[in-house]
């Protein structure tokens, strides 16, 4: 989620950005490590769980960021999620139905790739909401 707009005079907080970068880095490290199929299973599980801790930190920073926003900024975030959440639902539902109807290429349309659409939907919703209050 987008970082909170710093209110007038409020100190800047970079933890949100650092935690996001750390999460993305650990995710790609995990993906790279998991490509090595000869690795021990316990290490593979450890690699798969690697991004969870940075994600938890990022989530905490998002919650703090939203709490520090003013009422209009919180409303904009809510409206962004109102767009993103149903779009996510319809994407997953449609892919689920298509999977029953035809054989979808798992390398392109598995949940490993589809999740990347969720931030896209969120930023689309954010752009729409911001435009409304410009």
Partner 1 sequence: MKNNIRELREAHNLSQEELARKLDVSRQTVNAIENDKYDPMLPLAFKIAKVFGKTVEDVFLPEHKKK
Which residues in this chain contact partner 1 in the complex, by CB under 8 A?
A: 5-9, 70-73, 75, 132-134
The minimum distance between CB 73 and partner 1, in angstroms, equals 6
Q: Which is nearer to partner 1, 64 or 113 (by Cβ)?
A: 64
The minimum distance between CB 134 and partner 1, in angstroms, equals 7
The minimum distance between CB 104 and partner 1, in angstroms, equals 42
Q: Which is nearer to partner 1, 44 or 75 (by Cβ)?
A: 75
Residue in 125, 127, 3 with CA at minimum distance from that of residue 64: 3
Q: Which is nearer to partner 1, 50 or 69 (by Cβ)?
A: 69
Q: Which is nearer to partner 1, 70 or 99 (by Cβ)?
A: 70
The minimum distance between CB 120 and partner 1, in angstroms, equals 23
Could you give the count of Cα atoms lying within 13 Å of 103 in the half-sphere of its Cβ?
Answer: 0
Distances (CA, A) of 129 to 62, 73, 80, 87, 121: 18, 10, 6, 15, 12
Rounded Cα distance between 45 and 60, Å, is: 24
Q: How many helical (H) and strand (E) elements, i.e. helices and strands, does the chain have?
A: 7, 0
């Amino acid at each position: 989620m987008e970082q909170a707009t710093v209110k007038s005079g409020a100190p800047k907080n970079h933890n949100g950005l650092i935690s996001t970068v750390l999460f993305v880095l650990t995710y790609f490290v995990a993906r790279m490590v998991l490509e090595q199929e000869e690795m021990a299973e316990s290490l593979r599980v450890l690699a798969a769980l690697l991004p969870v801790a940075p994600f938890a930190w990022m989530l905490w920073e998002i919650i703090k960021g939203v709490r520090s926003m003013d009422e209009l900024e919180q409303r904009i975030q809510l409206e962004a999620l109102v767009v993103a959440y149903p779009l996510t639902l319809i994407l997953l539902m449609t892919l689920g139905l298509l999977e029953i109807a035809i054989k979808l290429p798992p390398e392109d349309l598995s949940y490993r790739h589809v999740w990347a659409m969720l931030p896209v939907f969120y930023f689309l919703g954010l752009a729409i909401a911001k435009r409304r209050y410009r």
